[in-house]
Amino acid sequence: MKGKHASFNQFGIFDDFNKDFSNIPGNALVVLNLDITSTTTTYNMEDLKSKVGPVGKILNDPNVPLHQRFRALFTLRNIGGEDAINEIAKGFSDPSVLLTHELAYCLGQMQDKNAIPFLIKVLEDESMNPITRHEAGEALGAIGSTEVLDVLQKYRQDPEAPVAETCELAIQRIKWLNERKIDSPNSIYDSVDPAPAEEDSSSVEELVSVLLDETNSLFERYKALFSLRNLNTTESILGLTKGLTVGSALFRHEVAFVLGQIQNPVTISMLSASLADATQHEMVRHECAEALGSIGTEECTQILKKYLNDPSQIVRDSCEVALDMADHEQSGEFQYANALQVVN
């Protein structure tokens, strides 16, 4: 998703690369192009870090429209550092499941160990929605520290299937990293994935077979999933769409997320069908909505508007945020995470 993956690149420009500039010296200059139609702005890094508090106020203000709070969230993710983590973590008391699960997602993508205590607290809080708890488990796996293996082991038998499956995946990912003694790799989509892509050169047909075979472990199926995403051909994408109707809710929601990353209009009809299917788990439907927002065509906009009054709160909220994402895609704006413009 273009908007959801905006960050600094190595030249200090806000764009779609997932880089952490939280450790840049305070006297360094960072050039921000906040909008393709606007002039660039140069910040001293200390000045940029001073914006964390004001952006955090936007994120944690329940009177601010949800889509604006999302833009603030991704701005904080991109700035990084302990102060940004603390501001993000304040939002876990919010009643919006969509927001709280996205908070956990961002903390995982930041890959900063300072986020671990907050994520463990969310995972352990069985009063929280399983969608948020699942995302906290996935985030712990994204950070990749062996220190969280014990807590993940504890919840791999959680009564909520998305939580249990996520913890199993996170354990497998951390063990995979540890066995190879490598840093956590970013995907070509600049996201930290819950499993690596397959390392061999399997054909699309073979990968789709692994993807859809429920006798395979979820970790192996996820590896096939990300391999198909990385191939990014019409054949591989259509193979991925078959995963929207098989397997667990967690699996189907990850397929939808990946289709949102790919942003290929050929998937619109399949994503729309899953969004329309009231028998689908709401975590799948909400992810389909966000994927449509990421694709961002006028057709996607019209589909999303139909579900602004859906009985599911997370689906309604997702459609609001997705429409803002679609508007961003159609506008030609360079930067989705634009909260710095608001606080300047």
Tens-place pLDDT, residues 251-293: 999 999 999 999 999 999 999 999 999 999 999 999 999 999 9
Spatial distance between the Cα atoms of 303 and 344, rounded to a whole number of angstroms: 35
pLDDT attached to residue 183: 65
Count of beta carbons in the 10 Å neighbourhood of residue 132: 25
Structure tokens at 303: 């589909």
**Residue closest to 149 by CA, chosen among 123, 110, 183:** 123
pLDDT attached to residue 333: 64
pLDDT attached to residue 1: 39
Annotated binding site, which residues?
A: 101-102, 134-135, 253-254, 286-287
pLDDT attached to residue 35: 36
Annotated binding site for Fe cation, which residues?
A: 101-102, 134-135, 253-254, 286-287
Question: What residues have CB less than 8 Å from 169, skipping those under 6 apart?
Answer: 138, 141, 194, 195, 218, 219, 222
pLDDT attached to residue 32: 45
Structure tokens at 106: 């961002």
Spatial distance between the Cα atoms of 41 and 91, rounded to a whole number of angstroms: 29
Residues of the chain with pLDDT under 70: 1-45, 182-186, 332-339, 341-342, 344
Reduce the secondary structure of the chain to three states and give it as a string: CCHHHCEECCCCCEECCCECCCCCCCCCEEEECCCCCCCCEEEEHHHHHCCHHHHHHHHCCCCCCHHHHHHHHHHHHHHCCHHHHHHHHHHHHCCCHHHHHHHHHHHHHHCCHHHHHHHHHHHHCCCCCHHHHHHHHHHHHHHCCHHHHHHHHHHCCCCCHHHHHHHHHHHHHHHHHHHHCCCCCCCCCCCCCCCCCCCCCCCHHHHHHHHHCCCCCHHHHHHHHHHHHHHCCHHHHHHHHHHHHCCCHHHHHHHHHHHHHHCCHHHHHHHHHHHHCCCCCHHHHHHHHHHHHHHCCHHHHHHHHCCCCCCCHHHHHHHHHHHHHHHHHHHCCCCCCCHHHHHC
Long-range CB contacts (within 8 A, 24+) of 275-280: 275/303, 275/307, 275/315, 280/249, 280/252
Spatial distance between the Cα atoms of 61 and 239, rounded to a whole number of angstroms: 41
Spatial distance between the Cα atoms of 75 and 343, rounded to a whole number of angstroms: 11
Spatial distance between the Cα atoms of 87 and 320, rounded to a whole number of angstroms: 23
